[in-house]
Structure 1
Amino acid sequence: MTPEFWQQRWQRGEIGWHSDAVNRHLTDYWPRLAVPKATCVLVPLCGKSLDMLWLAGEGYSVVGVELSATAAEAFFTENGLSPVVTDLAPYPFCCYHVDEIRLLVGDFFDLSAGALRAIGISRIDAVYDRAALVALPPELRARYAQCLAPLLRELPGGSAPVSLLVTFDYDQSRMPGPPFAVAAGEVQALFERDFRIDELTSFDVLPENPGLAARGLDRLAEHVYRLQMLGAA
């Protein structure tokens, strides 16, 4: 799965993963993370998610990372926002900035502490992942986890960074991803070295997704996790 795959999906408007509403798990479970207001939340593979607006409205500084400039421009246009756009060379990103929202356009796997410092971010206090891990095939999921933890350790917040992670679990043989199935055991294997993992809830969401049932699924569970970084200040 190449960057071109995602670029083409956005250009063709094939973005079935996008929701026109703020995610219910974010509003229901974010308060349990007890992330202090006025701190920084990283949103990997953010697309044009309205969740970023919700987080900013709750008083957080939000940094989204998105491969597609089409998605970034749609986020600001559709929400009536006029960002300042800055080329971050030599870092391979452009930054779209309005108030408390910064959206970095580029490949998440190229993200570095240096690029974040270049846009005035010196600490990451939390991560919100609703659509990043489940968008990646297995080999990239491992790479994602291996990139995330060092980044959080290099830019630690005032306390141990915490993440809200949302995943799907289903019989992968019945439907190719994305979104990909990520079982609880895989979440444990990916993150247990660097995070304490607590499952907050799980839901049977197949009745809410008739399109996925039509593609052959007979089971679709959504899981919500709290990940607390180990050994951080």
Structure 2
Amino acid sequence: MDEEFWQARWRENRTGFHEDRPHEMLLGHFDRLGLSAGDAVFVPLCGKSVDLDWLLDRGLRVTGVEFSRQAVEEVFARLALTPQIRDAGNTICFSAGALQIFVGDFFDLTGSMLRRTDAVYDRAALVALPGHARPGYASRLADLTGAARQLLISLDYDQSQMDGPPFSVPEREIRDLYENGFDVELLSRREIAGPLAQRCDGNEEAWLLDPRSASITA
């Protein structure tokens, strides 16, 4: 992943991708993850998303990973949590109560660094990656999380309208990336809205990736 690109976005406050309320598709489809209080959810490239707050309010244990230390510090400040900070391999781990966020590169995480993962919420990670990085990301994510069920938010638009990120990841590519180990179900589709709608026309989609039993036991 291009760490300097994302660090620059945060330094220059170019964070139009950040929203001040939980994502509607998370609210609408959360129940499909089958989670209960005490379960653990992993949020890759979490930024300072208020989705983290919402998940914590459901009684979940939440783990994220994010390049920007500034973003992570803002999350803990917003939640009035004083984190313990420790080195964790090539990353730095901020943790307090049911929340832990690793500052660093997703690809530097190992399975032993994560808490048990019952589900993945990928709102902003897959669409942040250029095409050549997506297969490695999808495979690594499944390895790290034991092929946990995923709620994936994606975008489908004419890539010639703008340079990503966020990138367009159409249905065919999602199926190519995940159908080896998951049943892939389109949950909903809506027109792109908000600031991104000023740059491109297309759809935002919610997908449920349900692990096949063979991939879990393999």
**TM-score, normalising length: structure 1:** 0.88
1:222 matched to 2:200: no
Q: State yes or no: 1:165 paired with 2:158.
A: no
Say yes or no: does 1:141 pair with 2:134.
yes
How many Å apart are 1:212 and its aligned residue? 3.7
Alignment CA distance shift 1:99-1:190 (3 Å): same
Find the residue that maps to 1:169 and give its secondary structure.
strand
Residue correspondences, number: 215
Question: Residue 191 of structure 1 aligns with which residue?
Answer: 178
Match of 1:36 in 2: 36
- More deviation, 76-85/25-34: 76-85
State which drifts further: 92-101 or 43-52. 92-101
Query: What is the aligned counterpart of 2:109 among 108, 111, 133?
Result: 111
Structure 1 residue 78: deviation in Å?
Answer: 2.9
CA deviation vs aligned residue, 1:10-65 (integer Å, no higher than 9, x gap): 11111111111111111110012212331110000000111111111101100011
Note the alpha carbon deviations across 1:52-83, whole angstroms, 9 max, x for none.
Answer: 11111101100011111111111112332221
Map of 1:101 onto structure 2: 99
Describe the shift of the 1:87–1:35 C-alpha distance in structure 2 as closer, same or farther (beyond 3 A): same
Q: Mark the runs of 5 or more structure 1 residues left unpaired by the alignment.
A: 154-159
> Aligned partners of 1:51 and 1:213: how far apart in 2?
21
Matched, 1:24 2:24: yes
Rounded Cα–Cα distance in structure 2 between residues aligned with 1:174 and 1:223? 18
Once the 2 structures are TM-superposed, how far is the Cα of residue 213 of structure 1 from its aligned partner? 4.5
The correspondence for 1:132, drawn from 107, 125, 137, is 125
Match of 1:52 in 2: 52
Which residue matches 1:201? Answer: 188
C-alpha distance in 2 between matches for 1:227 and 1:35: 14
> Does structure 1 residue 14 correspond to structure 2 residue 14?
yes
Deviation at 1:140, TM superposition (A): 1.3
Distance 1:86 1:192, change over 3 A: same
**CA separation in 1, counterparts of 2:166 and 2:139?**
20
The AA in structure 2 aligned to 1:111 is L
Supply the distance in 2 between the matched residues of 1:213 and 1:152 (Cα, whole angstroms): 33
Aligned-residue identity in percent: 41
Q: Which residue of 2 aligns with 1:73?
A: 73
Q: Contact 2:111–2:143 at 8 Å: present in 1 too? A: no
Partner of 2:61: 61
Distance 1:63 1:198, change over 3 A: same
